[in-house]
Structure 1
Amino acid sequence: MDSGTSIERTRRGAVRDHLPGLDLLRAIAVLWTMLFHSFLVGGLGEDWDWAQRYGWMGVDLFFVLSGFLIGAQVLKPLASGERLSFGDFYLRRAFRILPAFWAVLALYLLWPAFREAPGMEPWWKFAGFFVNLSIDYGNRAAFSHAWSLCVEEHFYLVFPLLAWLLAKRASAMGFVALAAAIVVGGIALRSGTWLHFDTLGSDRNWFVENIYYPTWNRLDGLLAGVILAMWKTYRPDSWARVGARANAVLIAGLATMALSFWLFRERTGLLGNSIGWPVLSLGLALLVLAGAQTGSWIGRRAVPGAAWLAAVSYSLYLVHKPVYGLVQTHLGDALDRIGSGYFAFATYGLASLIAAALLYYAVERPGLRLRGWWLSRAASKPLASPSMP
C-alpha cells in the first residue's frame, strides 16, 4: 500500500510530483476503514450501525489508489520504450510491504492478547499471502484484515508481467476487451456464488469467505486505477485537459458514490454484490482522477495532517484492528459508562495513531530508507541497454 504521493527520485533521476489530493484520499480511506472496524471490534453501539453498512468502502479506495499509482509506475517505462526492471519493482515492493507486515505478524503470533479475535489462521497462510483464499472466518478471524494486503500482493505479482506482455503487442481494443472481460466476469462470478450459497443456506460466513475476500472477486477497483494510469501515461494531453474540469469530475464521482450507496444499501445483497462493485469502483476512480488534478477543490492545496496520515496509512491499517481489541479489553467498561460513541471512537483512534507511529518510525521508515540506499547503490552501476528484453 505505497502512498506514492511524496516526491521520490527514481533510478533514472526523474522526480515524481507531490499530489496533495491523493494524500487526502488516502487519509480518508484509512479513517473510513478505521470507522468501520471501530463498530465491528469496538463497542460504539447500535447508533453506529451505519458504519458497518458503508465503512468497508475505504478499502476499495485503497485498491483504486494502488491501481493508479502502481500502474503508472509500471507503465511509464513501457510507454517510453524503456526496459522494465522487474527486479527493481519487486525489490521496492518487498522493502515497502514486508518489514512492517512481518513485525505485526510476529506480534500476532507471539502475543495472543494482541489478537482482536481468539482464533487465527496458521502463520504460513499469512506469510504466503493467500489467507484471503482460505479462511475460516467464523472461528479464525484474527488478523483477517490482511485479506486486502493479499489482494494487493497478487496484483503486484501479476500486473507487471501482464503489462509487459501487453506492451509487446499493444492494442487498445485488446485492452478494452480484457477490461470488459474482467468486469463482466466478476459480475457473473459473484452473482453465481451468491445464488449458490444463498440457496444452499450454509451456516458459515460464505459472504466473507467466498465473495468479499477472494482476489478474483475484488479486481474492479484495481482495474479502475490501472485504467486511470493508462490514460495518464498514454494520453497525457487528454489527461491534462481534464484539469480544467476537475471539479465537475469530483461532483460526478460523488454522485456515482451516492448510487453505489444505494446499490449497497443491503451490504450482503445480490444487487450490490453483482453490479455494485464496478459502480463503486467507477465513483472512486472519478474521485482519484479529481484528486490527481492540482486544480480541483481537493487537489489544489494540502490539508493539514493529511500527508502524515497518508504516510503512516499502511502501518495504521496493520495495527488499528488489534489495538481496538486491546482498548476494548482494557477500557471497554469505562467507555460504556461514558456512553459516547464519539468519545469511544476518538479513544480507539488515538491509541491506533500512537501504535501506528511507533510501527512507522521504528520499522516501516527504516525499511524505506534501506530501500533508498539499496536502489541508490544500484543506480550507481551502469544501466542495462534499453534494447535488452
Structure 2
Amino acid sequence: MPSADHDLGPQDLGRPATTVHREPLDRSPEHAEPSRFLPHVQGLRAIAVLFVVLYHFWPARLPGGYVGVDIFFVISGFLITAHLMREIAATGTVRLGQFWARRARRLLPASLLVLLFCALAVMSPYLMPTSALPNEVREIIASTFYVENWSLALSSADYLNHSGDPTTVQHYWSLSLEEQFYVMWPLIMLLAAWVGVKSFRASRRRAVLVAIGVVTAASFVFCVAFTLTNPAPAYFVTFGRMWEFGLGALVALVPRLRVRHAVGSFVLGWAGVLALLYTAFRFDGQTPFPGYAAALPALGAAAIIAASNTSGWWQPTRILAIRPAQFTGDISYSLYLWHWPLIIIAPSVPFWGLTIYHRVALLAICFVLAWLTKRFVEDPARHWKVLVTRRAAVTLWASLAAMVLVAGTAGAAWAVNAPAYRDGVQSLAQLREDPPGCFGAASVLEAGCAGTDFGGTILPAPGFAGVDRPADERCFVQLNDSRPVSCDFGSDDPDAPRIALIGDSHAFQLLSTFERMAEENGWHLVTFFKGACAWSTTPLSTPGAFGDACTTWRNGVTAALRDADIDAVFTAAIASTPYSSAGFDSSHDAAVAGYRGAWSEVLDRGIPVITVVDNPVWETDPNKCLRTRAEASCVGARSEMLVEDDPLRDAAAGIPGVTLLDFTDVFCDDSACFPVVGGANLYRDQDHLTVTFADTLAPQYTAAITAALAAGVP
C-alpha cells in the first residue's frame, strides 16, 4: 500500500516513508505504520502524464493520449480511499480539517504559481491575443477556485474538438474535478460508515464498500447516457467521472482484487499496459468519450494497480519501478501544470518556430520547469512550519487568501487590457460595415484592384482575429449529437427563394456572410451544421457512436430537405474528412461517391447545388506568427497546407446542376499559401476563415447562387 503521507492526490504517489514530515497536529494512526509506497503506481503516473503531454505536443501521433487523465482518476480513487479507510477503521472518523489542509499544502502552491504565471502572461498582448482576454480571465478565475470543469461544461466546450482557441488553463478542468472529489469522497465514506453501523449493524468497511459500489455503478450509467445525449458537457461534469475514482476505490477496498500470484500478476499487469497503449494509439478526438469507451483505459489502470507481484524483472511492477519512470512520476503534477500553458504561449514568442526541434526543446523546458517546481515549491510547501504547526484552519484561510490574490491578478489583467478589447470589438464592427476598397479577395478577383498597397495593415488585427466568427453557435452540433438542428434567417416572405447551407464547420464558417447575403437579396436561409460531418452518403471511417451519429444526422438532414421547400443548396466541407473506403478503390473515391449520392437527393428534384473547394489548413493558427513577425515570414508551403485532390472538386466535375467555386488562387500562388490577402486576415484559427474575409467572397457566393437559381437543373 502507498505511504500514508503520499497517497493523497494526483501528484502524491509518494516517496519512501523516511522522507515523510510528521505534522505535530496530525497524529492519525496510519503515521505509525510502515511505508505503503508502491513504485509501480508511481510508474503508472508517469505513463498517465506522458500520455497527456505527448498527446498535446503531437496529437496526430498519440491521438488517444487524453486518456491519461482517466488513469489519474483511477489512481487517486485507489490511494485516497485506502488512506481514508485506514483512518475510519482505526478511529471511526476522518479529521476532515487536517485531510483538506494536507491536500491544500500539496496541491495549491504549484497550482497557484502556474495560474499566476498565466495571469501575468495575459497582460502581455505579445504573448496572448487580445481576443482571448475574456475567456482567459474567466477560466483563470474558475481554475483558481477549482470549478473550471463546470465552467467548460456550462459553456459546452468541446475539449477534444475545440472549435476556438483554448485558454492557457483549460487543462485545469481535471484538477478541478479532482479537488471536488477530495471534498466529496471523505463525506460519502463517513456517511456510509455511520449509516452502516447505526442502521444495519454492518462493519464500516462493508458499509463503505456498498456505498462506493452504488456510486460507481450509478456514475457509470450516468456517464454513458450523458455522453450519448450531451457529449460536450459530459466530458467535464463531476458525477460523470466519479465512477473512475470509484473503480480505483474498489481495488483499494477489496484485497482479493490485488493479485500477488506471479502468473496472475504478470497477465493482469501486462493486459492493463496493452489496454492503455491501445487506447492511446487507437482512440482519437472522434471517439465517443468518456462514455463506455472510458472503461477500457480505466480498467487497464485498475489492472496495473492490482498487479502486485514484484518477484521478477519481467513483471510490470518491476518495469514501472525503473528510475526514469519514478522520476517522471515524481514530477508529473508540475509537468501536467506547466506543459499546456507553454504550448499555448510558445508560438507567440518571437523567433520561436514550430519545427520538431522547437517542440522537443519545449518539451525539455517543461521537464526542467516541472523539476524546479517540485524541488523548490511543492516539497517545501508541504513542510512550512507556519502552517503545519498550527490548526488546519490556518492552512485553509491562507489558501483562500492566495487564491484571492491570483484571481485579483487575473482581474487586473482584464482592467489593463479591457480598453484594447473594447476598441477591437468596435473596430471589427466598423470593418464589417465599411470595408476598404479592393479589400481581401477583391484584391485578387476584381479588375483594377491588382497591386493595391495596404501598407502592412492587417484587418482584423492578428490579436483580435479569434473572435471574428459566426455568433449563432446554437445552429452547430458537435461530436455524438445526431439531431438535425436547423436555423432560419433572412426574409419571411413565402415567395422568397429558400437557400439551404449545409455541412461541417467549414460550412458553418460562412454563416454570418450568408446571413447578410440573405438579408440583402431577399432570400430565406435554412442551415444544417455538424462538426466533422460533411453532407454525404458514405460513412465516416471513424467507428462507433461518432460515425453512427454522423450517419443519423445526415439522414435527418435529407429527410428535412424532402419536407422543405428548398430552391438551392450550398454545401462545404473540410477536404480531409475521413471516409470509409469499404467497397471503393480508395477513401477519395468513397468521398466523391458520397457527395454525389447526397446531392442526387436534391438534384433529382430539380434543386441546384453549389459547392466550394476547401481552403488551406495550417498546422497552427497563423495569427500567432503574425503578432510577432512580418507577414512575409508567416506564409506556408502550398504542398503542406492544401489538399490538391479535394474530393468536392472531383465530385462536382461534369454533374449537371452542380456549380463549383474554387478560390485556391486567392489563398495561394504556385508555391505558397498566405495568411493575409489584400489586407484581410484570412484565419481565426488554424483552418477556419474569419467572417471578415468570408464577407469579401460574398459577391462570388451571391453570383453563383443567383445563377444557379436562374438555371436550375438541366
State TM-score, norm by structure 1: 0.78
- Distance of aligned partners of 1:76 and 1:3 in 2 relative to their CA distance in 1, 3 Å threshold: same
2:82 touches 2:253 (CA, 8 Å); kept in 1?
Answer: yes
Decide which of 131, 149, 170 is 2:175's aligned counterpart.
Answer: 149
- Distance of aligned partners of 1:376 and 1:76 in 2 relative to their CA distance in 1, 3 Å threshold: farther
Matched, 1:20 2:39: yes
Superposition deviation, residue 14 in structure 1: 2.0
Decide which of 293, 310, 314 is 2:333's aligned counterpart.
Answer: 314
Decide which of 96, 102, 122 is 2:106's aligned counterpart.
Answer: 96
1:35 touches 1:55 (CA, 8 Å); kept in 2?
Answer: yes
Instruction: Look up the match of 2:213.
Output: 176
SS at match of 1:311: helix
Q: Which moved more, 1:148-157 or 1:8-17?
A: 8-17
Superposition deviation, residue 332 in structure 1: 7.0
User: How far apart are the structure 2 equivalents of 1:55 and 1:259?
Assistant: 10
SS at match of 1:134: helix
Instruction: Look up the match of 1:49.
Output: 60
Q: Which amino acid aligns with 1:364?
A: E
Instruction: Look up the match of 1:164.
Output: 190
- Distance of aligned partners of 1:69 and 1:364 in 2 relative to their CA distance in 1, 3 Å threshold: same
Instruction: Look up the match of 1:368.
Output: 382
Q: Which structure exhibits the higher relative contact order, with contacts defined as CA atoms closer than 8 Å and separated by 6 or more residues?
A: 1
Q: Could you report, residue by residue, the CA deviation over 1:148-205 in whole angstroms, capped at 9, with x for unpaired residues?
A: 10010010000001011112214355543332222112211222214xxxxxxxxxxx
User: How far apart are the structure 2 equivalents of 1:80 and 1:154?
Assistant: 25
Q: Which moved more, 1:134-143 or 1:160-169?
A: 134-143
Decide which of 194, 201, 213 is 2:236's aligned counterpart.
Answer: 213
Decide which of 246, 252, 264 is 1:245's aligned counterpart.
Answer: 264
Decide which of 18, 36, 60 is 2:70's aligned counterpart.
Answer: 60
Higher helix fraction (1 or 2)? 1
- Distance of aligned partners of 1:55 and 1:69 in 2 relative to their CA distance in 1, 3 Å threshold: same
Q: Could you report, residue by residue, the CA deviation over 1:11-69 in whole angstroms, capped at 9, with x for unpaired residues?
A: 33223333221121111211211101113xxxxxxxx5132x21111111111111111
1:220 touches 1:277 (CA, 8 Å); kept in 2?
Answer: no
* Greater Cα radius of gyration, structure 1 or 2: 2
Decide which of 285, 289, 294 is 2:310's aligned counterpart.
Answer: 294
1:5 touches 1:17 (CA, 8 Å); kept in 2?
Answer: no
Higher strand fraction (1 or 2)? 2
1:21 touches 1:294 (CA, 8 Å); kept in 2?
Answer: no
Q: Which runs of 5+ in 2 are unaligned?
A: 1-9, 158-163, 197-205, 392-714
Decide which of 6, 13, 21 is 1:4's aligned counterpart.
Answer: 13
User: How far apart are the structure 1 equivalents of 2:120 and 2:376?
Assistant: 19
Superposition deviation, residue 377 in structure 1: 7.2
Superposition deviation, residue 293 in structure 1: 4.2
Decide which of 136, 148, 151 is 1:131's aligned counterpart.
Answer: 148
User: How far apart are the structure 2 equivalents of 1:245 and 1:220?
Assistant: 25
Q: Which amino acid aligns with 2:316?
A: I
Superposition deviation, residue 363 in structure 1: 1.6
SS at match of 1:56: helix
- Distance of aligned partners of 1:269 and 1:25 in 2 relative to their CA distance in 1, 3 Å threshold: closer
Q: Could you report, residue by residue, the CA deviation over 1:200-234 in whole angstroms, capped at 9, with x for unpaired residues?
A: xxxxxxx3xx12222222223212111111124xx
| Identity rate, percent | 26
How do 1:224-239 and structure 2 match up within 5 A?
A: 224-232=247-255, 239=258
State TM-score, norm by structure 2: 0.44
Q: Which runs of 5+ in 1 are unaligned?
A: 40-47, 195-206, 379-389
Q: Could you report, residue by residue, the CA deviation over 1:313-358 in whole angstroms, capped at 9, with x for unpaired residues?
A: 111111111223344334775453xxxx3x4442121110122222
Matched, 1:109 2:132: no
Superposition deviation, residue 134 in structure 1: 1.3
- Distance of aligned partners of 1:173 and 1:334 in 2 relative to their CA distance in 1, 3 Å threshold: closer
Instruction: Look up the match of 1:356.
Output: 370
Q: Which moved more, 1:86-95 or 1:11-20?
A: 11-20
User: How far apart are the structure 1 equivalents of 2:121 and 2:358?
Assistant: 24
2:45 touches 2:329 (CA, 8 Å); kept in 1?
Answer: yes
Instruction: Look up the match of 1:79.
Output: 89
- Distance of aligned partners of 1:66 and 1:252 in 2 relative to their CA distance in 1, 3 Å threshold: same
Q: Which amino acid aligns with 1:176?
A: G
User: How far apart are the structure 1 equivalents of 2:187 and 2:85?
Assistant: 11
Q: Which amino acid aligns with 2:286?
A: T
User: How far apart are the structure 1 equivalents of 2:381 and 2:55?
Assistant: 29
- Distance of aligned partners of 1:254 and 1:27 in 2 relative to their CA distance in 1, 3 Å threshold: closer
